[in-house]
Structure 1
Amino acid sequence: MLAWTVALASFLGAMFFSEVMDLEPCVLCWYQRIAMFPLVLILGIGAYGQDRSCLRYALPLAAAGWLLAGYHWLLYKGVIPKDLQPCGKGASCADVKLEIAGFITIPLLSLTAFSLILLLLVAAHRKFQQ
């Protein structure tokens, strides 16, 4: 249920940034959304039905999203050169669009959300293995 809450908050945050604040998502943001949005349904259905098998579907999505978010954050921070960004048209993946408190960025929020979801899913998996 906690992993679903994080996924739902991430979904709502992404919608707020793009629809209310009118921030255009970059290519990496779209890929991360592709990994995050189904987690809202998968984890919600799994939590409602007390179905452990949802972990089998949620873990790979969360892991893929975490890798994308990590790459995006490193690109955003300048650790990965801007030449290696997958963005060609539209918004740049390396541009600073929003910064809260001087260091909290959209890629950092995404990386944090995927990290929390992964930790919670691994903990749930271990609990069910006992």
Structure 2
Amino acid sequence: MFAAWAIAVTATMGSLYFSEIRMFIPCELCWVQRIFMYPLAVTLAIATVKKDARQAVYTLPISVIGALFSLYHYLIQKVPALSEASDVCGIIPCNHQYINYAGFITIPFLAFTAFSMISILMIYVIMKTKE
């Protein structure tokens, strides 16, 4: 639970760094991903302090849904057929890439990685508590 909490806090701080310090304006899908990530930082902190493994059952759906939104956002950025339709996403188009390290690491990719790692850890916790 502590590792999942550390990932969620890192992702939360990363999103705040990009928007508040680097002044990157989040697109609509970035806001949706934040809606799923920020509560994970709080609920996993509580679960870690209380040593409550049952919270894994509640955080797993949130992290899986967040991962799906992140994957969709990443595909919008990287698949040309999807990229064309996202120009009308809002003030900042969802296909805009503020960062693009090594040709594939974008902000949605980082979010997808965090959500996926949290999901894997929650599945592990659920399996361990059933034993």
TM-score range, shorter chain: over 0.9
Report Cα offsets for 1:1-55 as digits up to 9, x if no partner.
1000000000000000000000000111000000000000110000110112211
Q: Which residue of 1 aligns with 2:120?
A: 119
SS state of the match for residue 57, structure 1?
Answer: helix
Q: Which residue of 2 aligns with 1:20?
A: 21
The normalised TM-score by structure 1 is: 0.93
In structure 2, the CA distance between the partners of 1:70 and 1:86, relative to structure 1 (3 Å rule), is farther
Q: After the TM superposition, which parts of structure 1 deviate over 2 Å for at least 4 consecutive aligned residues?
A: 82-89, 100-103
Distance (Å, rounded) in 1 between the aligned partners of 2:90 and 2:74: 19
Are 1:74 and 1:80, in contact at CA under 8 Å, matched by a contact in 2? Answer: no
Q: Where does structure 1 lack aligned partners over 5 or more consecutive residues? A: none
Q: Where does structure 2 lack aligned partners over 5 or more consecutive residues? A: none
Root mean square deviation of aligned Cα: 1.6
Distance (Å, rounded) in 2 between the aligned partners of 1:37 and 1:27: 16
The normalised TM-score by structure 2 is: 0.92
Distance (Å, rounded) in 2 between the aligned partners of 1:100 and 1:17: 15
How many matched pairs? Answer: 130
Report Cα offsets for 1:46-67 as digits up to 9, x if no partner.
0110112211221111011011
Which has the larger helix fraction? 2
For 1:16, the aligned partner's letter is Y
